Chain A
Amino acid sequence: MASAFEYAPAPESRSVVDIAPSYGLFIDGEFSEAADGKVFKTVSPSTEEVLSEVAQAGTEDVDRAVKAARKAFEKWSALPGSERAKYLFRIARIIQERSRELAVLETLDNGKPIKETRDADLPLVAAHFFYYAGWADKLDHAGFGANPRPLGVAGQVIPWNFPLLMLAWKIAPALATGNTVVLKPAETTPLSALFFADICRQAGLPKGVVNILPGYGDTGAALVEHPDVNKVAFTGSTAVGKAIARQVAGTGKKVTLELGGKGANIVFDDAPIDQAVEGIVSGIFFNQGQVCCAGSRLLVQESIQDELLDSLKRRLSTLRLGDPLDKNTDIGAINSAEQLARITSLVEQGEAEGAERWSPACELPSSGYWFAPTLFTNVTQAHTIARDEIFGPVLSVLTFRTPDEAVAKANNSQYGLSAGIWTEKGSRILAVASKLRAGVIWSNTFNKFDPTSPFGGYKESGFGREGGRHGLEAYLAPSSPKGER
């Protein structure tokens, strides 16, 4: 579609961030090399440029980090909550101060548009620390009995889609409740976690309270397995989540899992179409669809299918794909070559199974990992693209006739993380919301997050909640019925 007004390039400057050629592991307040000297490279997904070389933690390093965290636990858990709170408030403030630097860094390392890191990720990261800081000295009032106790050392493994935000979701409640942490960032996005280590240093956080171990899946597995880890928190794929659940069986380690999703976004015939279209777009194209709670299954009431799809296609034609550092970019790069290959293969399978593929005219940059926004029509519930999580900018469109059918189709999934409901009828929103088996339900909106709002899934989307008062539970020992002290 020819546009009357072309956009001039509006790139955010990279000069605000200074990326070192190499980074070590952050253990006991110091950066150090891996015991076996292993390193790996992290690249910018939009250009394939090598950003830095990062130490890769092995079993020995995991052991050293857990020891440091264990040692730090004694003092950290004994600190008055009000003092722990002040550390967390400091961290929140430093994140706010350095948010432009961190936003650019995250965009470079992850490939997502600067407008998302700047306007969504970073404000939420700071807000999470700010929110949980305030809980640190109020745990007696959180509803988990009197004098709730921390668990000990938390082993945390986070994904690459929201590197710094997932770090905040994990570290803020862990520290507020008096635990110490060893965190493994994803292998494709280790940098913001290492910058966070520097923020801990600036905040004067005691050594060993936070330890960062970049690495691959085997590093994560070694961390989960470590006998002196008391709590495991994982966000990532359902397959890995199941493996972790098996690993911790019989060990007594407390575990929370935030896993995959195949969110249904249900649009009724009386929905505000323009708002619904915006919600569908943010539901599946925000962060290139690399979001566990993405609204990847669009369920449209049959009578408005044509009208809605026309509007949606028109809207998709206005999305701008390209340089993630450009402030006008809507769709950035896919995080890695592996992820791009997975998306590509699932989309090919969708075509092979008979679904109809559509994308707006869209030029892809010649280097980097890119995938055009894509939607599939003629999709049935049996299709792979309607069942499996694609984790990319790919929307499957299904139809329904009655609210009961919409609910049945929405719930026809192994997952149960998120859902959307679009209708002007309040009673229908409440009826449908109550019947959907999903942990987060957005009505007449989508993909909204807040530190005060619990997030997490039903069924195979995992267990436990992050955020809000509920998020504290994952890091506290079960309360004694008598409130023993």
Chain B
Amino acid sequence: MSTVDRNNERLSVFKTYKLYVGGKFPRSESGRVYEVTDSKGKWLANAPQSSRKDARDAVVAARKAFGGWSGATAYNRGQILYRIAEMLEGRKDQFVREVADAEGLSKSKAAAVVDAAIDRWVWYAGWTDKIAQVVGGGNPVAGPFFNLSTPEPTGVVTVLAPQESSFLGLVSVIAPVIATGNTVVVVASEKSPLPALSLGEVLATSDLPGGVVNVLSGRTAEIAAPLAAHQDVNAIDLAGADDVLAKELEIAAADNLKRVLRPQPVDYSETPGIERLTAFLETKTVWHPTGSLGASGSSY
């Protein structure tokens, strides 16, 4: 029959890359795809080109998941983030290949990037039950009141993933958002979306409730516009936006006073600080009167 049979070679099975929304893997509602190539221009796959409707569906899914995820215990969230690292560790080869293709890295360099991404999940897994102690606490008010400030997730966060760092950068911007109990709609690197779409498959098998992370691929500017203007999105991380787009989106985000994290130079190979954790937190301060038990005369 064919040359393949004669040489006893097997024809590989291509993967249809799909979005990850609400714990499911839909194609783009628009039916559109775009060509993804490696760093040398060789065709890798057709990635879904998400539409405005896909973005809206992702926000609905993220909102639906917010109550359960933000209400989960910090310990539980930490376990699940760690579980993501476990799942990734087992599928390392796939991600090394995808990152090498996407970013034109040697296999060993790509392996280092994937290792760093896995370690980043572990790092954030440890933060879930510590951040409240670091940025919250009791306030010594001048009066008979118990007064406590606690951080809380701000809600649904849109993240434009960094354009160049297709996997480590991606993990570095979504892990802190969900570590603190937010849910996220992430727009993958426009040029190199495949590691992000594959990450969806890992998240789906990591005990992470559907809708906590939603992954869209396509044209960043096209998908970002409706997300920045969306009235049910609480915050936006503009990591993957250039200056012109960032300004446009920041203006749109003012409409419902979204919290905005502006693009800034970040070396994703460095251990992050806590800025990405705190950028999507609100501080809630609760007051309650204290009684005056034994105000005088009591002794220890």
Contacts and interface: CB of A to CB of B under 8 A. Distances in A.
Interface of A: 127, 143, 145, 238, 241-243, 245-246, 249-250, 252, 257, 259, 414, 429, 433, 438-445, 448, 450, 452-456, 458-460, 462-463, 465, 468, 470, 478-482
Contacts of B273: 145, 478-481
Contacts of B145: 445, 448
Interface string B265-291: 000001111010000001111111100
B286 A443 contact: yes
B288 A252 contact: no
Given A445-B288, A450-B141, A479-B273, A439 B283 contact: yes
Contact of B143 (A259, A450, A480): A450
Q: Identify which of A259, A448, A458, A482 gathers the most chain B CB atoms within 10 Å of its CB.
A: A458
Contact of A453 (B134, B141, B256): B141
A52 to B, nearest CB: 34
A470 B275 contact: no
Nearest to B279: A478
Interface stretch (B16-24, B78-86, B105-113, B246-254): B246-254
B257 A439 contact: no
Using C-beta atoms within 8 Å of the partner chain, give the interface range for chain B: 35 or more
A462 B254 CA distance: 10
A453 B149 contact: yes
A453 B289 contact: no
Interface of B: 134-135, 139-143, 145, 147, 149, 154, 234, 243, 246-247, 250-251, 253-257, 259, 262, 264, 270-273, 275, 282-289
A113 B191 CA distance: 63
A65 B275 CA distance: 32
Contact of B140 (A143, A257, A438, A452): A452
Q: Identify which of B135, B246, B262, B286 gathers the most chain A CB atoms within 10 Å of its CB.
A: B286
B254 A242 contact: yes
A414 B255 CA distance: 12
Nearest to B250: A249
Contact of A245 (B143, B257, B262, B264): B257
A454 B246 contact: no
Contacts of A243: 254
B288 A443 contact: yes
Given A250-B247, A448-B145, A463-B257, A453 B139 contact: yes
B183 to A, nearest CB: 15
B64 to A, nearest CB: 16
Given A249-B251, A458-B282, 9 more contacts: A238-B257, A241-B257, A245-B254, A249-B254, A438-B284, A445-B289, A450-B141, A453-B139, A455-B285
B285 A441 contact: yes
B288 A429 contact: yes
